[in-house]
Amino acid sequence: DIQMTQSPSTVSASVGDRVTITCRASQSISSWVAWYQQKPGKAPKLLIYKASSLESGVPSRFSGSGSGTEFTLTISSLQPDDFATYYCQQYNSYPGTFGQGTKLEIK
Amino acid sequence: QVQLQQWGAGLLKPSETLSLTCAVYGGSFSSYYWSWIRQPPGKGLEWIGEINHSGSTNYNPSLKSRVTISVDTSKNQFSLKLSSVTAADTAVYYCARGGVDTAVVTSRYFDLWGRGTLVTVSS
């Protein structure tokens, strides 16, 4: 299976900050990466697919980039609603696998 | 507005079979693959398997020997059975829709999720 490693595991930031989360794949996965936001007690919500495509209805402050083995999710200006846990997922091959998550906390 | 509604038993004893069903309301059923994903309490996400309207399935090799996913196209529903459960199978189980912006050789991302069902395995 392809391993997805996210960093950092936790990040503390303030409203208005720019935040970047990194995801590294154990082998090249082209651009077949998705990013999700999950709040406590809720299902994950798709933010980004194919590394940089913004899902419909997701605010434009979210962006994704990368290809091959290194990918980033950037939130350009944090809003109060953005404090949550974020997961990357590779879908280059079966089984699709997720990163361990990055918890975004209020500083 | 497409919605996924899921249900099933929430408390099982070791060695029993987990059974969950997910119904799709308000959209196309036949155009997508439909997945089950689980999340142990406080932990990350694990894809279990998927099915399409014609019954074509793919399973996670780590669970394949215990998993069966089936489909009922007359009701726009798909179901998960996981046999011989243990405490390690305690998790929130989600049904989800596979995204379509993929390639023939890739697996899928998930653009629509059910609310999740907590399944606890305890003697």
**pLDDT tens, B51-77?**
999 999 999 999 999 999 999 999 999
Query: Could A44 and B107 be called an inter-chain contact, meaning their C-beta atoms sit closer than 8 Å?
Result: no
Question: Does B102 have pLDDT greater than 90?
Answer: no
Beta bridge partners of B101: none
* 8 Å CB contact of B106 and A92: yes
d(CA B109, CA A32): 9
CA A79-A84-A86 angle, 5° bins? 110
Residue A85 and residue A37: Cα distance in Å, rounded? 6
Residue-level pLDDT at B62: 97
A76, A63 in Cβ contact below 8 A?
A: yes
Calpha distance B88→B103 (Å, rounded): 33
Low-confidence stretches of chain A (pLDDT < 50) are none
If you measure CA to CA, which chain A residue comes closest to B4? A43
How close, in Å, is residue B112 to chain A by CA atoms? 8
Contact yes or no for A55 and B94 at CB 8 A: no
| Contact call for B106 and A32, based on CB within 8 A | yes
DSSP state of B64: G
A91 touching B (Cβ < 8 Å): yes
Structure tokens at B43: 């932990």
Residue B101 has pLDDT above 90, yes or no: no
In chain B, what residues touch A97 (CB-CB under 8 Å)? 47
Per-residue tokens: B80: 């998960």
Query: When comparing pLDDT for B81 and B1, which is higher?
Result: B81
Q: How far is CA B43 from its chain centroid?
A: 17
Q: Are B101 and B45 in contact (CB under 8 A)?
A: no
Looking at residue B12, its pLDDT comes to 98
- Range in A6-20, A39-53, B18-32, B97-111 with the lowest mean pLDDT: B97-111
Residues of B in contact with A31 (CB under 8 A): none
pLDDT confidence of residue B44 = 97
| Residues of chain A positioned with their CB less than 8 A from the CB of B47 | 95-98
What confidence category does residue B103 fall into, taking pLDDT thresholds of 50, 70 and 90?
A: confident
Mean confidence (pLDDT) of chain B:
96
Q: How confident is the model at residue B6 (pLDDT cuts 50, 70, 90)?
A: very high
User: Mean of the pLDDT values across residues B34-53?
Assistant: 97
Contact at CB, A94 and B110, closer than 8 angstroms: no
Residues A19, A11: contact at Cβ < 8 Å? yes
How much is the pLDDT for B106? Answer: 86
| Cβ–Cβ under 8 Å, residues A59 and A13 | no
Q: What is the mean pLDDT of residues B83-112?
A: 93
